[in-house]
Amino acid sequence: MANHITIRKAPGTWTVRAGGAVLGESHNALELSEGDYPAVIYFPRDDIAMAFLDATDKTTHCPHKGDASYFSVVTKSQTLENTVWSYENPLEDVARIKDHLAFYTSDDVKVEQI
């Protein structure tokens, strides 16, 4: 694994909310720490209500994790563009994040330990 990336099981239960709706809750979330960046919680896809997400055409590349694809969150009142990302085929060193989703947090999207 890249020396500056660590992945561990996130302790406790985690939830993600957007637009007043709970998108998911998980006891099996992963916490990815990368260098000096804040840790990111990755939710198992099975723990997220995928009906709220629409795949977009956006992709990005990370030399340490691979190619990320993006989703928008669709709520009753708005669409939060490219708020969710996933490494569909992550590099071998970070394979644990396959089939997981991460969320950009904002005033509209909250990721919290409960």
What rounded mean pLDDT belongs to the chain?
Answer: 94
pLDDT, one tens digit per residue, over 12-32 is 999 999 988 999 999 999 999
Q: CA–CA separation, 15 vs 48, rounded Å?
A: 9
Asked if 17 and 109 touch (Cβ cutoff 8 Å), the reply is yes
Structurally, the chain folds into a number of domains equal to 1
- pLDDT at position 76: 87
Residue 15: domain span? 5-107
pLDDT exceeds 80 at position 1: no
In the chain, the percentage of residues whose pLDDT exceeds 90 is: 89
Residue at 78 is within a domain: yes
Q: What average pLDDT does the segment 77-96 reach? A: 95
How far out from the chain centre does Cα 49 lie?
13
Residue at 101 is within a domain: yes
Residue at 113 is within a domain: no
Q: What average pLDDT does the segment 46-58 reach? A: 97
- pLDDT at position 34: 93
Give 36's DSSP letter.
T
CATH of the domain at 58: 2.170.150.40
Residue at 112 is within a domain: no
Structure tokens at 15: 């939830």
Residue at 99 is within a domain: yes
Residue at 96 is within a domain: yes
